[in-house]
């Protein structure tokens, strides 16, 4: 029986995951656990790859505004539902299983927000509130 090489298994899993990301447009989180022995030779190793359907999110804060840029590839504009409580932006896309909760860096005014969705990118612009969060 041939002994498995954990490093080769890791490389194979990473290659498969990257291929899947390129085809499906999903994000991944990689958690690797390596336990060296006293002589610094690797022993039992475990590799966990967790695929997440998390959207890519960028937040830009200016003096007067908060801009949230969210990647929602493959989602139709009519399927996007936004809600905001002034501190957190919640985005539902497609169905209730696809929910993104984004903590905003400052309190915002919900009324007057501007929304644009183009080429799989959702842009939400809020005016910052003059009320401070403590």
Do the Cβ atoms of 98 and 61 come closer than 8 Å? no
Position 45 pLDDT exceeds 60: no
The 8-class DSSP code of residue 119 comes to T
The 8-class DSSP code of residue 54 comes to P
Do the Cβ atoms of 90 and 83 come closer than 8 Å? yes
Tokens found for residue 46: 């475990």
Do the Cβ atoms of 108 and 86 come closer than 8 Å? yes
Nearest to 87 by CA among 68, 114, 69, 115: 68
Position 26 pLDDT exceeds 60: no
- Architecture of the domain defined by 57-128: Sandwich (2.60)
Confidence at 11, pLDDT banded by 50, 70, 90: confident
Q: Where in the chain is the domain with CATH 2.60.40.790?
A: 57-128
pLDDT at site 4? 72
Do the Cβ atoms of 106 and 134 come closer than 8 Å? no
**What integer best gives the mean pLDDT of the chain?**
75
Please compute the mean of the pLDDT values over residues 34-46 and round it to a whole number: 47
Please compute the mean of the pLDDT values over residues 79-84 and round it to a whole number: 91
Q: How far does the chain reach from its first CA to its final CA, in angstroms? A: 63
Query: How confident is the model over 101-120, as pLDDT tens digits?
Result: 889 999 999 888 899 999 88
Do the Cβ atoms of 90 and 110 come closer than 8 Å? no
Position 121 pLDDT exceeds 70: yes
**Which pTM was predicted?**
0.57
């Amino acid at each position: 029986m041939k002994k498995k090489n954990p490093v080769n298994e890791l490389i194979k899993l990473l290659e498969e995951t990257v291929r899947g990301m390129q085809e499906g447009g999903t994000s991944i989180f990689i958690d690797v656990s390596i336990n060296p022995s006293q002589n610094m030779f690797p022993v039992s190793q475990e590799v966990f790859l967790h695929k997440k359907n998390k959207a890519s999110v960028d937040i830009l804060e200016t003096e007067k505004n908060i801009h949230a840029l969210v990647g929602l590839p493959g989602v139709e504009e009519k399927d996007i539902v936004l809600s905001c409580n002034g501190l957190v932006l919640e985005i539902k896309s497609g169905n209730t299983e696809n929910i993104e909760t984004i903590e905003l860096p400052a309190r915002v005014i919900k009324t007057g927000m501007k929304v644009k969705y183009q080429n799989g990118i959702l842009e939400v612009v809020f005016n910052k509130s003059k009320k401070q969060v403590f």
